[in-house]
Amino acid sequence: MKRVVITGAGTINALGLNVPDTMAAMQNGRCGIGKLEFRDVERLSIQIGGQVKNFPPPERYNRQQLSLYDRFTQFTLDAAEQAISQSGLVFSGELSAKAGVVLGTAGGGVSTWDDNYRAVYEEGKNRVHPFVVPKLMNNAAASHVSMEHNLKGPSFTVSTACASSNHAMAQAFAMVRSGMAPAMVTGGSESMLCFGGVKAWEGLRVMSRDACRPFSANRNGMVQGEGAGIFVFEEYEHARARGADILCEVAGFAMTSDASDIVTPSKAGAARAMKGALQDAQINADQVGYINAHGTGTAANDKTECAAVADVFGPHADRLMISSTKSMHGHLIGGTGAVELLACIMALRDGVIAPTIGYQEPDPECALDVVPNEARDAKVSIVLSNAFAFGGLNAVIALRKV
């Protein structure tokens, strides 16, 4: 089996339009959540989110591109450009033939659906733009990345709600590890911050009206975000041979299914996924220094996740750090694991643990070191990134310092 490393990273999210700005915001515990701005927002009872502002800049995409690129594709293309450019890879010849792109999204072109339903239902129009279908399809972003960067290997989109990008990255990792592809572009993207997207979430009654406060006793729900995180996963020797800057190693992963409930999380399913990732990476539980939590800020997730961590790590659960950066960038649904991977890279590479901000009151059911409110300097060599989706589908990735 081959070793797999990350040689490029890119992002667009509420904290920043690139990786350095996002990491700086995480380090400073800055909150990217604010008042939502879009049509009909006044008809929503939830009016906050981690919305990406000032993107795309004027002329970033031309008129023809905008007729094909939903916002989730725009985020993806920009983040992919950043990641591939950082990696220094140019996809041509055999590399181009074997390298592909596997991305996660839960909703795909949600605002394209929303805009066009509004046009035909509310405004009574009988005609929509000819490219509505290729614009909204869940694989649009992956396809445009493949076209833009000449990626001709295995390419597809994974959709497992809030675990989509972790499932996608696990898939890309498996492909590089097996020798099937020398490099893969992977990650995820989401853009549900439009009237219909937020209205649907309101219905579940799990959204907070004021802030995302994971693990805090007074937490009152999740806050949605939007954006993308894209990475270049590359075979270790391939990266070394060309002198690439290695951000960290992807050490292993595991996926599990709760097979129990469509929305309520299961401690056992989450614990099996974390344990499986440790086994796959051949890591002892006490080597893990930091976990980037799923940490949605809902009553159900946070206590279940903490109980699962306690189960898997035993006494070491009290020594490791676990934080939820959703408190800063919101929950990016299908793109969330990808943006959260940046906090893992920052922990391994820079020795800075991103905080859980908005933390106000300890909760005995979440009695772990959640790195409250302020980032911490700490040397860690192994980290985990958790994602637990509606539908009971879990994916955990283990990363190692190189």
Partner 1 sequence: MSIQDQVIRILAEQAVLEPSDVTMDSTLEDLGIDSMGVVESIFAIEEVFDISVPFNANQPADSDFDISSVASIVAGIKRLKAEQG
DSSP letter for each residue of 177-232:
HTTS-SEEEEEEEE---SHHHHHHHHTTT-B-SS---TT-TT---B-BB-EEEEEE
Out of 166, 256, 292, 298, the only residue in the binding site for partner 1 (CB under 8 A) is 298
Count of residues touching partner 1 (by CB under 8 A): 14
Q: Which stretch binds partner 1 (CB under 8 A): 57-65, 114-122, 200-208, 392-400?
A: 200-208
**Cβ nearer to partner 1, comparing 90 with 204:** 204
Residue 204 binds partner 1 (CB under 8 A): yes
Asked if 344 is an active-site residue, the reply is: no
Q: Are strands 183-190 and 227-235 parallel, antiparallel or unpaired?
A: antiparallel
**Cβ nearer to partner 1, comparing 221 with 355:** 221
Q: Which stretch binds partner 1 (CB under 8 A): 141-149, 204-212, 248-256, 278-286?
A: 204-212
Shortest separation between residue 92's beta carbon and partner 1, angstroms: 51
Q: Which stretch binds partner 1 (CB under 8 A): 175-183, 202-210, 249-257, 375-383?
A: 202-210
Q: Which stretch binds partner 1 (CB under 8 A): 81-89, 154-162, 217-225, 393-401?
A: 217-225
Q: Report the site for partner 1 in 255-284 (rule: CB under 8 A).
A: 263-264
Cis peptide before 130 (omega within 30 of 0): no
Asked if 162 is an active-site residue, the reply is: yes
**Cβ nearer to partner 1, comparing 220 with 373:** 220
Residue 178 binds partner 1 (CB under 8 A): no
Which residue has 């992956």 as its token pair? Answer: 142
Catalytic residue, chosen from 31, 167, 331, 366, is 331
Closest to 318 measured CA to CA, from 286, 351, 348, 278: 286
Catalytic residue, chosen from 212, 294, 306, 366, is 294
CB 182 within 8 A of CB 237: no
**Helix or strand holding residue 245 (H, E):** none
Asked if 144 is an active-site residue, the reply is: no
CB 81 within 8 A of CB 19: no
Cβ within 8 Å of residue 71, ≥6 positions away: 109, 111, 191, 226
**Cβ nearer to partner 1, comparing 85 with 264:** 264
Shortest separation between residue 328's beta carbon and partner 1, angstroms: 19
Residue 221 binds partner 1 (CB under 8 A): yes
Query: Alpha-carbon distance 380 to 347, whole Å?
Result: 7
Catalytic residue, chosen from 31, 144, 149, 162, is 162
Which sign does the torsion angle of CA 68, 85, 16, 139 carry?
positive
Query: Alpha-carbon distance 334 to 191, whole Å?
Result: 9
- Interface residue list for partner 1 (CB under 8 A): 45, 203-206, 208, 219-221, 263-264, 298-300
* Catalytic residue positions, numbered: 162, 294, 331
